[in-house]
Amino acid sequence: MANTPSAEKRIRRNARRADINRARRSRIRTFVKKVESAIEVGDAAAARAAFAAAQPEIMRGVSKGVLHRNTASRKISRLERRISSLESAAG
């Protein structure tokens, strides 16, 4: 239990930030799922378009402190590699 006004304010602020971070993380996951579903279907053009939308969203998560820089780079790299292999198999 918070004993000081500043501790009470910190609890309120942490709760607000947690909500914002949860929404941002969920938004990132939604963008990634769109890319993954396009890859599963085998539609390279749709996967590339979804990836183009997901990449800045992932990096925005890094700048806002929701994701670590290396985690975001790893996710982007793996998606890029899957799309490239899909394009090379189709082409």
Q: pLDDT for 25-34, tens place per residue?
A: 999 999 999 9
Kindly report the pTM of this predicted structure: 0.88
Measured CA to CA, the distance from residue 11 to residue 41 in angstroms comes to: 45
Beta carbons within 8 Å of 87's beta carbon, 6+ residues apart: 44, 48
CA-to-CA distance for 47 and 70, rounded, in angstroms? 22
Domain that holds residue 16: 5-90
CATH of the domain at 35: 1.20.58.110
45-86 per-position pLDDT tens digit: 999 999 999 999 999 999 999 999 999 999 999 999 999 999
pLDDT at position 91 is: 65
What Å distances lie between residue 16 and 3, 8, 33, 78, CA to CA? 20, 13, 26, 32
Number of domains composing the chain: 1
